[in-house]
Structure 1
Amino acid sequence: MRLTIPTLLTLFRIVLIPVLALVFYWKSPWSNIVATAVFVLGALTDWLDGWVARRYDMYSAFGAFLDPVADKLAVTVALFIVVQAHPTAWMALLSAVIVGREITISALREWMAQMGAHGLVKVAGLGKIKTIVQMVAISCLIFHEPLLGLPIFKIGEWLLAVAAALTLWSGADYLRAAWPTMSKG
């Protein structure tokens, strides 16, 4: 196993997940700011590890495996703590759509790889847009306080709804691309 800089950044992002949970529940007037900063730092390292890997050709099989795992863990844990802090049917539904799609597409990618057709379910541009909207939405939801007169939590809710819609759309695109292989046999 080769530990490249991108892989180290991904491991750092995984270490940030329990830090996020601890800081989120920390009883301090600053906890939402620090928790948001931790989540945003993780999101930025997600972008940075990909950029470094592409720019300096620092790919590794372990990094390729670990990066999406880190993404799914960070988003899932963040959504769990947001739903726990704001337990509404709407928030739970949006979070379930996002987490459910991530599990489904991860399983689809694994299955397609076993079928020798992993190239059909690569990350597409729509998935990248979904990820950006999702990360901004979750950041707003973790921060949750009004800022400069803006209703940050409401903005986060609306962006999470957009992310859930993009999640369904991109998930359908993945399934449509995989359907010819899936329907054989």
Structure 2
Amino acid sequence: MSVRILALVGSLRAGSHNRQLAEAAAKHAPEGVEIAVHEGLAAIPFYNEDIDVEGNVPEAAAELRAAAAQADALLFFSPEYNGTMPAVLKNAIDWLSRPYGAGAISGKPVAVVGTAFGQYGGVWAQDDARKSVGIAGGHVVEGATLSIPGSVTRFAETHPSDDAEVVEGLRKVIEQVVESNPAA
């Protein structure tokens, strides 16, 4: 049986190390696991109940919800902006949390990982993302964490997919997510 994981990247920057981390996860996913990196978070308007109307949901938000609904689990990649998660990631969580109690991530296994320039690898942002996605209805997989510090220097000349320690950490998180998935 194949497990589908939707990856959401909280950085929109070209050459983002978190984007590269998501690419590494997709490239090195264990056999039977498919990781799809979602495109289009930049096109989703900020969550507003006035525009979240059945039959009239903005196309980019509807596409995100559909992709999450088709996934067995989600993997969030969060950098740290001013000590917390980026707005684009929080906005995605907000859209995925609705309709309240029955959002596209309700009950699905979720893990949050990431890299940042600082000495803690974005752990504050990732903790905030875990809190938010858990409140939004996702099942945050206990212990499925990976925070990689010093991204600017560590990945200056090496793509995360070529870093054996990073690949091993990603595989461990992915395996934990798969093991917690009742569909697996």
The answer to whether TM tops 0.5 is no
- Structure with higher Rg: it is 1
The TM-score normalised by the length of structure 1 is 0.26
The TM-score normalised by the length of structure 2 is 0.26
Higher strand share: 2
